[in-house]
């Protein structure tokens, strides 16, 4: 009986650790000019920004001014349309990012992952 209790405590601790670690990573990406919007051959959308203010620290250095909208994001179409709107109207986007996506899985093309995108006047 004590063994089950210990396993339950370990499981609860791991669950809480995962919940808190993922919520701490979200960072504000600031307000940025959109320089380009691309559908990458991986199926993800890549947005090139004039600058980047996030504190994720996980992107490949040469790609620090990019954000990625994962093709698996439930809001992919809306986020992609918002990025295109910003590009075509020359308005900046604001948004939040959380962690990075390793596009090829080998560490050579790692980009911060967008969680929200908005456009304003």
Token pair, residue 79, equals 């986020």
Residues 6+ apart with CB under 8 A from 104: 42
Coil, strand, or helix at residue 20? helix
pTM score of the predicted model: 0.76
41-58 pLDDT tens trace: 999 999 999 998 788 989
- Tally the residues of the chain: 121
- pLDDT at position 5 over 60: no
CATH of domain 27-119: 2.40.50
Domain range summary for the chain, segments of one domain joined by +:
27-119
Mean pLDDT over 74-86 rounds to: 95
* Three state DSSP letters for 40-67: CCCCCEEEEECCCCCCCCCCCHHHCCEE
pLDDT at 8 over 60: no
pLDDT at 11 over 70: no
Residue 93, both tokens: 């986007």
pLDDT of 121:
80
Residue 16 in this model has a pLDDT that exceeds 70: no
11 DSSP 8-state letter:
H
User: 3-state DSSP: the chain helix, strand, coil percent, rounded to 5?
Assistant: 35, 35, 30
């Amino acid at each position: 009986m004590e063994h089950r209790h210990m396993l339950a405590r370990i499981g609860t601790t791991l669950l809480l650790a995962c919940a808190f670690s993922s919520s701490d990573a979200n960072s504000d990406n600031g307000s940025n000019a959109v320089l380009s919007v691309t559908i990458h051959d991986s199926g993800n959308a890549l947005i090139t920004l004039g600058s980047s203010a996030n504190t994720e620290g996980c992107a490949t250095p040469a790609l620090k001014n990019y954000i990625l909208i994962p093709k698996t994001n439930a809001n992919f179409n809306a986020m992609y349309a918002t990025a295109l709107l910003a590009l075509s109207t020359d308005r900046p986007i604001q948004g939040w990012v959380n962690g990075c996506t390793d596009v090829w899985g080998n560490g050579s093309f790692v980009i911060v992952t967008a969680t929200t995108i908005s456009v304003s006047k």
